[in-house]
Amino acid sequence: MPKVALFVTCVADQVFPDTAAATVRVLEAAGAEVVFPAAQTCCGQPAITAGEPAAAARLAHHHLDVFGALDAGEIDAIVAPSGSCTAMVCHHYPALLAERRTEAEALAARTFELTQYLVDVLGVVDIGARLDTTVTVHDACHGLRNLGLGHETRRLVEGAGATLVEMTEPDTCCGFGGVFSFGFPEVSTRLADSKLGHAAGTSARYLVSGDLACLMHLDGRRRKVGPGTVPQPIHIADLLASGLPPKR
């Protein structure tokens, strides 16, 4: 049985603990054993996007201390329910932690985004979830362009029996962008409206994505203006877990 360390991400830990719990359920349903390294905090991404790489590096060192210490013989993979936080480790750490580059690269090599781990590493597209619903997918940017993800979420959705309806421009940014969503709220909101409009055009029940920050932004906008015909934003882990049989 593969053994996975959950890299929960600070957003899931503090704001969306149900999504973190769903991530564990999905991993277990796929046949993995999950452990939670309690000393983890945050990967440092907020600081690097704010333009403070020194502060980001401090957290990156801590993250590397916590997860790098896990025995590679015992823990098969480190998995996060976020393409963006995974990309921070895989795409940015080796340069940010230049003096520990070898360690950082080793960590990056065994850190995976949830759908990437399920589909590309374990080779599982059917985790036993059954969903009788329609779904459209938003390709969150860092998963898509830093990690090369795209088909994984779709295969899992279809593997659970749901109907996939593609929206126009599924790969265009939702407008969140971290500090951008505060610094340029008008443009950020217009981009969210555009994404929600494209999603509504599919008449799907759910708008699924692999990044909680995008979903927080999209759902926040949807709640502000009223849901109308816009599909409910939902994380892929929550969607899949909702189709699993009740836990004994």
Return d(Cα 102, Cα 23) in angstroms, integer: 29
* DSSP per-residue string spanning 150-219: SHHHHHHHHHTTPEE-PPSSTTS--S-TTHHHHHSHHHHHHHHHHHHHHHHTTT-SEEEES-HHHHHHHH
Coil, helix or strand at residue 138: coil
188 makes contact with another protein (CB under 8 A)? yes
248 makes contact with another protein (CB under 8 A)? no
220 makes contact with another protein (CB under 8 A)? yes
186 makes contact with another protein (CB under 8 A)? yes
Q: For the segment 122-141, give every residue that binds another protein (CB under 8 A).
A: 141
When binding is defined by CB under 8 A, the residue of 26, 30, 61, 119 that contacts another protein is 61
CB nearer another protein, residue 10 or residue 165: 10
Strand partners, 164: 135
28 makes contact with another protein (CB under 8 A)? no
When binding is defined by CB under 8 A, the residue of 26, 42, 135, 196 that contacts another protein is 42
- Give CA separation, 163 vs 135, 202, 219, in Å: 6, 11, 21
Q: For the segment 197-216, give every residue that binds another protein (CB under 8 A).
A: 216
Q: How far is the CB of 55 from another protein (least distance, A)?
A: 4
Among the listed ranges 51-59, 122-130, 199-207, 230-238, the one in contact with another protein (CB under 8 A) is: 51-59
Coil, helix or strand at residue 113: strand
End-to-end CA distance of the chain: 20
Q: Are 12 and 43 in contact (CB under 8 A)?
A: no
Count of residues of this chain found to bind another protein when the rule CB under 8 A is applied: 64
State the residue for tokens 């969140």.
176
The token duo for 68 is: 């790098």
Q: How far is the CB of 74 from another protein (least distance, A)?
A: 17
CB nearer another protein, residue 58 or residue 130: 58
Q: For the segment 144-163, give every residue that binds another protein (CB under 8 A).
A: 145-146
- Which residues of this protein are in contact with another protein, per CB under 8 A? 8, 10, 12-18, 20-21, 36, 38-42, 44, 47-56, 58-59, 61-62, 141-142, 145-146, 171-173, 175-192, 216-217, 219-221, 223-224
